[in-house]
Structure formats: structure tokens, C-alpha cells
A and B are shown apart, each in its own frame.
Chain A
Amino acid sequence: MLAYHLRIAAKSLRRTPILSALLVAGIALGIAVSTAFVAAYHTMAKDPIPQKSKRLFWVTLDAWDPKRPYNDDQPKDPPEQLTYRDAMALMNSPVPTHKTAMFKTRLTVFPNSRDQRPFRARTRVTYGDFFTLFDVPFQYGAGWGKEADAGPQAVVVLDHGTNEKLFGGRNSVGQPVRIEDRVFTVSGVLAPWFPKPTFFDVMNGAFEEPEEIYVPFRWTPIMKFQTAGNSNGWTSWGNGYEDMLASEGTWIQYWAQLDDARQKEAYQSWIDGYAREQKKQGRFGRPLNNRLFDVQQLLDWEQVVPRSSKTMLVISLLFLVVSAVNLIGILLGKFLARSPEVGVRRALGASRRHVFLQHLLECELVALLGGVVGLVASVPLLHGIDRLARSADDPALYQLELPVLGAGILLALVAGLIAGLYPAWRICRIPPASHLKAQ
């Protein structure tokens, strides 16, 4: 029966090819626009590390100005980042499974080849745990271990692009690279890696490309790395590098992996204990407010999804509604114009149910065709949105992923169903006799 309905529906569509093409084009436009913006929204709002997002925690300590909150608009919020001394103290906690303090800087890299000029590389200064915490994929080699952290040893991890630039994409593990005034050894090369959002450092743009090179944190006081990321202070940063490290300025980011509720509780009491200890020395003048944010909580707190993405999502869905309303109107006209034929079919014994189903199926066929065309069209559309909203040298941000494609087809089918219900209902209620009489 379904096959028969389908055949009738296809026949009906073929009979008015121009109208059918317009119907399909109309709904395809709605699907293309809405799918593209759903994809853009999904890229920004999705869970970037679903396998671990509940176990990774961004650690905050409220050591801010006792007289004034860190954020006047949200007075209960602690600063997002830590002071250098607090971050170093937290590295002594045995509770987390993995942990790292980190920050962003820019270091000069001297290519081995004579004809390449030195360049400043976006650098993440971090512990070896970074690569374990965030499941960072390697192309060659691996991160570094605890000994390299403690040494510190002069090891470096290159990202895929930097390895291309410095070694032409070869396996460079064990090769020397001069960074600033020191020669580092490559311990690993990353596979292409760009999680969206870049949740591990939302302080410096949640959709920026990750760093080009990674070096052990303990080189910080030795090589006098300065942060190139966000930093905030409420007292003087002092005069000189040692003062800066000892100051109350916050610029270090901190992550810990806590695998279950018990571990999380133990860690919370460990950091609270540390804060109480510090209170005795006259620091931490504010009420105890040391918070652990899991990945989703952090993304919500920092409002990483741009307001424009949400707005465009709403507008594009309304666009789809308009295309669907358009579809209802035209289908209704098309079906009613066919009243005499339906009258004859009804008189020859077709039941209402069959007439209804057959016409609904015709709508679904239009919607499905429109959905497929729309999804194909959404790819260049999404690319266009990407190019429009970012500068030319940024890598593509938005991706059309499988769940979004599924959602696009589903949207098309639902739109077809809703658009088809009323016209199909109207046509199935045509009385068999009236049109026979007229003829």
C-alpha cells in the first residue's frame, strides 16, 4: 500500500514539475538556512570533551581584594585564574588524578634552517599532565613525564603546523629546536588538534587556535616567561620579575582531574584547608569561596556561546517556519485544484484514510527532497558564514557534524508533516458526489 501511495505521490509531483520544483526549493531554502545556523550553534555550544567533561575541573581560589569583589556585576564570583604562588602550592596536592598549572606566552623559535627567519610562537607553558588531562592526540612521540617536569628538562611538544614549518612534517622526535636562548629537544608532535570551544583556556578566546608549542612549566622562573594571556591584579605587580611572581596578580590557569564525588570532596576540603592556612598569614581576606567548575559549568560561567549565535539560531528557525507556512499555502492550492479527480477516486471507493495518507505522503516526499537539497546547500552556506564572521587567515571554525545532519533531515520531515496535515485533511473531506455532478 505504501509503495502504491508513493507511486501516486511521485506521479502527482511529476505532473506539475515547475510547481514541484518551487515547492522543493522553498523548503530546501528553509532547511539550508536553519541547518547552517544549527550547525554553527552546535559547534559553539557542544560538549568539547564528552568522555571526560564531568571529571575535569577548573580550579579557582578567592584570594582577591577583601574590600571589593573581583567582578562588580557578579560579586559572588571568584577570579577565574590563580596567583603564581597559589598555583605552585596547589601542585603539591596529592588528591587529583592529574593536574596542571598553565598559562599562555609567546616565545621566539629559531628554525634550524638558515633561510627561515626566527618567529614568535604561541606557547603554552604547562605540566606533562596537560596532554593526559585533555586527551591530546599525538602524531609522533608523546608528551613529557614527571622527571621532565621536575628537572625541568628542556623538552618541547610541537603542534602539527609548527612541525610542518620546522621539519617539513617529518618525525622530529629527538631533534633540537632553539627556543629563546636555550636548545630544547622535541619529545612529541601533535596530530591536528582544535577542540571547539577551546575549553581548556576560555580566558583568551574560546574559539582561538590552540598553541603552537608546549614547554614545561618550571622553566617559568628560570627563563622569566611573561604571560601573553589575560591577567588581573588588585595590588601592585611590583617592580621586576621576582615581585611579579610573588604578587597577588592572577594569571595562572589550573585544571584537576577528579574521578568521583569522593575525590572531588577530598579536593575541595584540601584547597579550603590551604585557604584557611593562608588566612592565618593575612592573605585570603574574603569569605571562603574556592570553587571547582566542571567543563560545562566553566563554559556556562564564561558565557562562551556568543549571543549572536543564539540570536541567529532563533531567527533561522523562524525562517524555517515561514518556509513551512509558505509550503502549506501552496500545497493547499495544489490539492484543492485536484478536487474533481479526488472526487472521482472517492466515488470509485478510495477511503478517506487512503486519500489523506496519499496526500500526506506527497508532502513528506516534497519535504524529504527539500531536506536533502537543503542539507547539501547548507554546506557552502555554513562555509560562507564561517568566512564572513572570521578573518581570512583563521582556520575554519564551524563543522557540519553527523547529529546536526540528522537533525536537519528530522526538521525537514517534521516541517513536511506539519505543513501537510491541514491540506491533506482538507482534500480527504471532499464529498465524492459534488464534483461528479458538476461534470
Chain B
Amino acid sequence: MEFGPVFRALVHNRARFLLITLEVALTLAIVANCVTMVLDLRGKFLRESGFDETNLVVASLEPFSAAYDDENYLHAARARDLDRLRALPGVRDATAISAVPLSGGGSATGRKAESAKGDSITAPYFEVSDHAIPTLGVKLVAGRDFRPDEFRDYVDAEGEVHDQPAILSQALADKLFPKGDALGKRITSGGDAKSSNVVVGVVDTMFNSWPQVERISGHAMLLPSQPEDKRLIRYMIRTQPGARKAVMAGLEDLLLKADAGRIVKIRSLQEYKENTYNGERGLIKILGGVVVLLVAVTAFGIVGLTSFSVSQRRRQIGTRRALGATRQDILRYFLLENWLVTGSGLALGVFLAWALNYGLVKMTTVVGASALIPKLDWRLLAGGMLLLWGSGLLAALAPALRATRVAPVVATRTV
């Protein structure tokens, strides 16, 4: 019923209302895309990696003592360390490992099913000692764990490995053997190299060292080995729930007391992971901040506009009140006006949001990786619209309420 006058007033003051429409539209476009990115980044950070992330501790040892040049000493030192670590109160299990999962640094090789044609695919791996599966917390879903006699050196004179057992992540097993018959099969390096592994087990979810490389983040394999690298030894230690901090506090002293000829660094797996995701975690906070500021600026613009609109029409309001309009009528008038302006802004904003999303996807797509920002989800867009519509209404409420307090007597004053 009041639509006619409201609309005519809008047309009369079109410039100002078009500006707010544009502002609301731009805000929706930016907010929708920022939130899309935040949810996507958060989802990736919180993704199940297969490891008992909260209870794992990494001890990195860099020996400098000449004693480690002797391979037997190296082996004995490692066995001794592992015994000590496993005997610590609060420790569930410990293993030696060649690289830290989720850390951004590790090794990969190429593997294909021996019977398959075509190229090998990237197969990231961790060389481990015994107790790897119970320590990491990954779940064996098929086959078996390594046998004690399988922890030996497989490298021949040419530097190739032959039939070294391997435990694959389900994702890697499915990729190499789409029919699901990985167990007992041989995987090879393909091409001229002659290295090979035999699949003895499959674990369900197990990430590699590069969780951000989407295409292969779930591809990983465990290989039994003897330590070769005398310059860097790594242990992973799984603690009882809640005991991580206490265990970490005593580790450096324990390992140095056993042998002072090395540099020891203790960090939790979570620290490694957070470090890997530093950029993403920062981006989440930055984007969140931008969204809050932006909505605040736009709400401020709406407050300003409605205030101005009210102050310009004091006499008109007074006249209407004098002619019998109730306070509710006045309130309804200004809220309807606000609703029309934000509403058209949101309608335009849907197109802008889509256009910005298209542009950002295009800009952040690089060969061989997915874009930094996923496509817009309509549910999210709807949520953004609701948020802006609500904050627009809230922003208009105070000035509109002030309008209802204009006394009818204002109409009788000349200026």
C-alpha cells in the first residue's frame, strides 16, 4: 500500500539510493567470495589425515660425532633410543621415520602396477622402523604389518631396490589398482629403472608430507628400512592422550643423556602441520577481518543514508503525522525504503558475486592444481544475502525510530 510513494521517493533521490545499492552489491560479492575461501581453507586444514595428530611428537636428531660414520653404531644407537622412548611413562609407542608427515618436506618416487601400461604416478613414501602403524595411528584395513625380518637394506649395487614390501594408503592403492586387488601385487618404477615393491598391506587414510598438493595429498606408502642417513635421524613418538606436553618436556635431555654427539630438536606434529598451513591459517583470519570491516562500513553507509533521508523529510513526516499517520506507518515507510534499496543491492550483488568468483577462479588457476578459491555455493550466497539484509535492517532501525518521534507539530513550522 505504501509501495507507490516509497518507490516514487526513491526515484526522486535516485543517485543516493543507487550508490547504496552499489555498495551493498559490492559488499555481497566480496563477502560471499571471502567466506567461500575461508570455508574451503578451513575444511582442508581440518581434513582427516589418518595420523593421531594431537598425540604425536617428532624428535629430530642430527649426529655430528664421528662414531656415527660406523653403520653398526648408527643401528645400535637407533635401537637403543627407540627402547628408551617406548619405556617412557606416557608414551604409547615410537618409531623411526625418514620424513615428517604433513611437514612440507619429504621424498617421493614413481610407481605403477607391474602389469599396467602407461606412466608411473607419484608415490610419496616414508621409510620406517618397526611399530610404525601403531605409532602413527593409521588403520590397517587389508593385509599385514611388516615382519621383523623385513627391516633391512634393499638397495643393490646399482642403487635399485627389489621387492621391498610396501604398505599403501587406500587412495594410492585404488589409484594403482582400480579393481581393488592391490594385495600381493608388485609395483615398479617403470621406464629403465628396475626398482620394485610388493604390496603387503593397505591402511585406510594416510596423508603424505605435502597436504596442500591436492592431487596426491592422500597418496602415501610405508617402506621398511634400515637407517642410511647418518646425518638426520627422526623418531615419531605417540603419547597417551593428554600426556604430550609432559613427554615433550623431558625428551631432549633424555636423548642427549643417551648420547651427546648429536643436535636434538623436539616438536609436536601439530606444530609441523600448523607451520605448513601458516599461509592458509593467516589468510583465514585476514579474510575474516576483511568481511567484518566491510559489513561494518556498509552498515555505517546505510545508517548515514537513512539518517539523512529522515532529517530531510522532517516536515513531510510531521505533515503525515498531522494528517493521521501512526508511528508504525512512519517506521514501516522507512524500513520498506531500506528493504527496497538493500534488496535491489543484493539482487545486483548476486551477479557481481558470480562475476568476481569467475574472475578469481580464473586468476588463481595454475596448470596442475585446482584454483585457490572454489566455485560459489548458492547456499552460501543465500546466507550472505540474509546476513546483509539483516544488518541493513538493523542499521536503518535507529534512524527510522528517530523518524517516528517527529512530532506532528513540526508541520506547522515554516522552516
Contacts and interface: CB of A to CB of B under 8 A. Distances in A.
Interface of A: 22, 26, 29-30, 33, 65, 67-68, 71-74, 106, 108, 110, 117-120, 180-181, 226, 234-239, 243, 247, 303, 306-308, 310-312, 314-316, 318-319, 321-323, 325-326, 328-330, 332-333, 336-337, 385, 388-391, 422, 426, 439
Contact of B157 (A29, A65, A239, A439): A239
B297 A389 contact: no
B19 A329 contact: yes
Contact of B282 (A26, A73, A236, A389): A389
B191 A181 contact: no
B30 A310 contact: no
Nearest to A316: B290
A112 to B, nearest CB: 16
B76 to A, nearest CB: 21
Contacts of B297: 26, 29-30, 322-323, 326
Contact of A388 (B34, B285, B298, B359): B285
A303 B159 contact: no
Majority SS at the chain B contact face: helix
Contacts of A65: 191
Interface string B356-381: 10011001101110001100000000
B293 A319 contact: yes
B275 to A, nearest CB: 5
Contacts of A311: 37, 360, 363-364, 372-373
B191 A333 contact: no
A173 B21 CA distance: 68
A239 B23 contact: no
Given A239-B157, A306-B279, A389-B278, A315 B290 contact: yes
Interface in B4-41: 15-16, 19-20, 22-23, 26-27, 29-30, 33-34, 37
A330 to B, nearest CB: 5
Contacts of A26: 297, 300
Contact of B15 (A108, A243, A247, A332): A332
23 contacts: A30-B297, A72-B119, A108-B62, A117-B263, A118-B263, A236-B160, A238-B158, A303-B366, A308-B279, A311-B364, A315-B287, A318-B26, A325-B22, A329-B16, A329-B304, A330-B301, A330-B305, A337-B311, A388-B282, A389-B279, A389-B282, A389-B283, A390-B278
A325 B16 CA distance: 10
Contact of A329 (B20, B119, B159, B415): B20
A329 B23 contact: yes
Contact of B19 (A74, A180, A303, A325): A325
Contacts of B141: none
A119 B265 CA distance: 11
B195 interface: yes
Contacts of B27: 322
Contacts of B64: 108, 110, 118, 180
A239 B195 CA distance: 13
Most chain B CB inside 10 Å of its own CB: which residue of A108, A181, A316, A329: A329
B195 A236 contact: yes
B377 to A, nearest CB: 18
Nearest to B37: A311
Given A322-B30, A337-B311, A238 B62 contact: no
A127 to B, nearest CB: 24
Interface string B312-348: 1000000000000000000000000000000000000
Q: Which 8 A-B pairs have the closest CB atoms?
A: A389-B282, A73-B368, A333-B308, A388-B282, A236-B159, A238-B159, A108-B64, A329-B19
Contacts of A303: 366
Given A106-B62, A108-B263, A329-B20, A337 B312 contact: yes
A243 B156 CA distance: 12
Contacts of A439: 415
B231 interface: yes
Given A119-B263, A311-B372, 10 more contacts: A72-B119, A118-B263, A226-B231, A239-B156, A303-B366, A311-B363, A329-B19, A329-B301, A389-B282, A391-B278
B367 to A, nearest CB: 4
Contacts of A73: 367-368
A235 B15 contact: no
Contacts of B364: 307, 310-311
Contacts of A316: 290
B214 to A, nearest CB: 13
B87 interface: no
A124 B372 CA distance: 33
Contact of A120 (B19, B263, B304): B263
Given A33-B293, A307-B366, A388-B282, A315 B30 contact: yes
A234 to B, nearest CB: 7
B294 interface: yes
B282 A390 contact: yes
Nearest to A232: B108
Interface string B403-415: 0000000000001
A29 B191 contact: no
